[in-house]
Every structure is written in structure tokens, then in C-alpha cells.
């Protein structure tokens, strides 16, 4: 999507936000092993996510042998209630 915006609007300036990993231990944060708004998706606590989300698949080396595993793991979502507090955000 960013590519499309930059393609059609040469004056557009993008930036990346770095979110502190400590956020995932915050009050009310939940996880989903797939797309959260899909019918029948299971919303998980941090403890449940440790066993149901393939974190190794997300962070292992990229390569053809890991493609399908990474593709499925990339559907995982972290659900933050309300907003991300500013102290967790830095600009890169």
C-alpha cells in the first residue's frame, strides 16, 4: 500500500515507527494466531499465545524451506486496546 501512495504522490513523505517490545506485556493486550476480525478467530492472552502462535516461524531465517510456515505465522496479530502510549513509540 505504501508503494502505491508513493507511486502516485511524489511529495508524500513516509516514516517508520519503532514500537517497544515491552508493549506486548501491557494490560489488556491480546493476540490472535490469525486474522483477528475473521469469523471464529480465537483471541488469546500472552500465555496462550506462547503455545498457539508460531513465533519461531516468524523470526527464523528467511528462505524457501520456511516460506509456508512464515506465510501462515505472518497472519498473527497483536491487539492493543485503545491506543499505543507515546512512551513506546520512537521514529526511525
Strand boundaries in the chain, DSSP class E: 17-19, 30-32, 43-44, 77-79, 89-91
Query: Coil, strand, or helix at residue 30?
Result: strand
Q: What sections of 1-92 are H helices per DSSP?
A: 2-8, 46-52, 55-59, 67-73
Q: What is the pTM of this model?
A: 0.70
Question: 66 Cβ partners below 8 Å, 6+ apart?
Answer: 57, 60
Tens-digit pLDDT profile for the chain (92 aa)?
A: 777 888 888 788 888 899 998 988 888 999 999 889 999 999 999 899 989 888 888 777 676 777 888 888 888 999 999 899 999 999 87
Output the CA torsion sign for 23, 29, 32, 36. Answer: negative
Amino acid at each position: 500500500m505504501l508503494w502505491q501512495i508513493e507511486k502516485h504522490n511524489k511529495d508524500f513523505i513516509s516514516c517508520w515507527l519503532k514500537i517497544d517490545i515491552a508493549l506486548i506485556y501491557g494490560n489488556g493486550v491480546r493476540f490472535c494466531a490469525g486474522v483477528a476480525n475473521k469469523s471464529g478467530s480465537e483471541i488469546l492472552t500472552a500465555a496462550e499465545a506462547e503455545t498457539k502462535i508460531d513465533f519461531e516461524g516468524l523470526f527464523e531465517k528467511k528462505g524457501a524451506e520456511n516460506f509456508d510456515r512464515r506465510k501462515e505465522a505472518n497472519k498473527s496479530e497483536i491487539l492493543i486496546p485503545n491506543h499505543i502510549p507515546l512512551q513506546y513509540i520512537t521514529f526511525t
